[in-house]
């Protein structure tokens, strides 16, 4: 098995309730991070075999493989495989494959708040 290496890192933006990001679709937010990651790494997107993204709430706008939808929303190659994994709080740090994005794309105002 080939050795995994971190080539570049990009984080999705952190917003606040009903802030500027509230009107964006989660795929737009994650897609922008994916596109920037490829740009910073200086690689041809066609060389990316697989993209893995972590998402806490995989329902509604974030259901149906938000990682793939994000990748395609940026006009990146449809030949690249994409997987969304459950990223219950600390899980994004454990996700690894050939190329990955592990920043949750959640648009918090659209989620049911957790009750403590």
Q: Does residue 10 sit within a domain?
A: no
Q: How many CB atoms lie within 10 A of CB 36?
A: 16
Q: Render pLDDT for 36-52 as a digit per residue (tens, 0 to 9).
A: 988 998 888 888 888 88
Give the pLDDT score at 1.
62
**% of the chain at pLDDT higher than 70:** 69
- Which of 8-12, 21-25, 39-43, 70-74 comes out lowest in average pLDDT? 8-12
Q: Does residue 12 sit within a domain?
A: no
Domain that holds residue 53: 26-107
Q: Does residue 85 sit within a domain?
A: yes
pTM flag (> 0.95): no
Q: Does residue 36 sit within a domain?
A: yes
Mean pLDDT for 94-110 is 47
Q: Does residue 95 sit within a domain?
A: yes
**Pairwise CA distance, residues 19 & 23, whole Å:** 8
Q: Does residue 20 sit within a domain?
A: no
Q: Does residue 13 sit within a domain?
A: no
- Check which CATH number belongs to the domain holding 43 and give it: 3.40.47.10
Number of domains comprising the chain: 1
Q: Does residue 2 sit within a domain?
A: no
């Amino acid at each position: 098995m080939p050795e995994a290496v971190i080539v570049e890192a990009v984080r999705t933006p952190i917003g606040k309730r009903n802030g500027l990001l509230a009107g964006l679709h989660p795929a737009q937010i994650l897609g922008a991070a994916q596109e920037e990651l490829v740009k910073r790494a200086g690689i041809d997107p066609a060389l990316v075999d697989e993209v893995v993204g972590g998402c806490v709430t995989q329902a509604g706008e974030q259901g149906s493989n938000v990682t793939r939808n994000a990748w395609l929303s940026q006009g990146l190659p449809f030949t690249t495989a994409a997987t969304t994994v459950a990223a219950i709080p600390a899980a994004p740090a454990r996700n690894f494959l050939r190329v990955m994005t592990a920043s949750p794309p959640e648009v918090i105002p659209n989620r049911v708040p957790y009750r403590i």
